[in-house]
Amino acid sequence: MHTPSADFQDKQDIADHHRPAGTAGRRLVHVAALAYLCLWVWAAVAPADRPTWLLENALVAVFILALWLGRRQFRFSNPSLLLIIVFLSLHTIGSHYTYSAVPYDAWWQTITGHSLNGVFGWERNHYDRLVHFSYGLLLAYPIREFFLRIVEVRGFWAYFLPLDVTLSTSALYELIEWMAATVFAGDTGMNYLGAQGDIWDAHKDMSLAALGALIAILITAVINWTARRDLAQDWSQSLKH
């Protein structure tokens, strides 16, 4: 029999579980957000291509505005917010240099004395591939959290729908890139598209996003199975009390 005292204990367990995330965790989110703001200001001062930078940041501005306006109705957990900030930081770096010109190989050579592209035999700049992979890897968990909280999905669908949304939004973004490249001719359109001459660029980008999301969901499933509880669902339930 589930008594009122047992209900209270369940709520207390949830509160105890999230108390560190609500204090130290929230402080960490604030520090990460401040660091991201500094990075964004640096990237905005003198980007390699101002029109491309504006295009790259249009969707970011809409996303951040939506988070801000909806903060009272829906707030992501601290882990999800940190994952979102990390992804936005990677995107900010790409928008500053343009994705096809991020000098990661030069940075790697400075640190190790060797060419990362040379080690793997790469002939193109792969920073865009990293960000597409990170889109799935870093954002699948926040997407899952959104479904748990708003749609209240459970079981199989709580793991499948984040994969589905990741792949569908990746396809949508590729369509946006195609339209932008068509509307904005010349270097701006090509810089935004970032295909670098690869006719299968869109397919590879979507595949990497799906792979990243699959890895994130598998990790989430293993953690939940080990803990014998759904941590994201706990967070969602805690906000209802």
Q: C-alpha angle with apex 69: 64 to 73, nearest 5 degrees?
A: 115
Give pLDDT tens digits for 200-229: 778 888 999 999 999 999 999 998 888 777
Instruction: Give the model's confidence band at 25: pLDDT under 50 very low, under 70 low, under 90 confident, else very high.
Output: confident
For the chain, what are the domain ranges?
4-238
Mean pLDDT of 191-203: 68
**How far, CA to CA in Å, does 102 sit from each of 50, 91, 98, 106, 188?**
15, 11, 6, 9, 16
Residue 235 reports pLDDT greater than 70:
no
Q: Please tell me whether the overall predicted TM-score, pTM, comes out greater than 0.85 for this model.
A: no
Beta carbons within 8 Å of 161's beta carbon, 6+ residues apart: 143, 144, 147, 151, 153
Residue 96 reports pLDDT greater than 80:
yes
Instruction: Give the model's confidence band at 195: pLDDT under 50 very low, under 70 low, under 90 confident, else very high.
Output: low
